[in-house]
Structure 1
């Protein structure tokens, strides 16, 4: 049950372009993380220019205001799944939106079944509902 946060700079994309970005992320997660249908939890935040800062970590990247930062909280994916996610996302976003690889940052975090409640204050994984 991945939870995805997508951070972008405001007024750089139309609502349709933002939806396309989110749809690509979901499609790639379904493929590489084997996420089930209707397992879509995304938070998209647009930041004022200057409020989303990403330097290049000494790797020589040239960042622009087209920057996309994606944070995924999930459980149970191995390093191969994560590497497939990174490369497939970069490829699809470049092909379908023109996003430069220099402007894509992805971070994946792990959690456990006890860390989720999908409603009504119930830990559905722990209660056997999922």
Structure 2
């Protein structure tokens, strides 16, 4: 996924703040359906991305497409099973350490 973020929306190569979590179906219930007529199955992958606001709709569409392409190429995940959501926020919503808002200095 990092490759897709770099290629489509310009995420720096060293911006590796990513959390990958596996859900094996033993500790919860994996839910999916056919919303928008897309036939998903138990191989669904949910991708949630939080990023600073400012990307265009075209960049976001390119990101979704590239994530689906890479999921298929690297893991054999069918694009219909790749579910992506973006949450945007502003520069002052980030502290990367030292108790500072690096993107929104005083």
Report if TM-score (shorter chain) is over 0.5.
yes
Alignment partner, residue 35 of structure 2: 57
Alignment partner, residue 67 of structure 1: 44
Residues 1:28 and 2:4 are matched in the alignment: yes
Summarize the alignment of residues 83-122 of structure 1 with structure 2, pairs less than 5 Å apart. 83-122=61-100
Offset from partner CA, 1:77-111 (integer Å, 9 cap, x none) = 11011000011111122122211122110001110
Whether the 8 Å CA contact 1:56–1:63 is kept in 2: the answer is: no
Structure 1 segments, 4+ long, off by >3 Å, are: none
User: Which structure carries more strand by proportion?
Assistant: 1
CA-CA distance at 1:52 after TM superposition: 2.8
- Aligned residue pair count: 103
Alignment partner, residue 3 of structure 1: none
- For structure 1, list consecutive stretches of 5 or more residues without a partner in the other structure: 1-24
Provide TM-score, normalisation by structure 2. Answer: 0.86
Provide TM-score, normalisation by structure 1. Answer: 0.72
Whether the 8 Å CA contact 2:32–2:40 is kept in 1: the answer is: no
Cα distance in 2, alignment partners of residues 121 and 69 from structure 1:
31
Whether the 8 Å CA contact 2:68–2:82 is kept in 1: the answer is: yes
Q: State the Cα RMSD in Å.
A: 1.6
Cα distance in 2, alignment partners of residues 44 and 51 from structure 1:
18
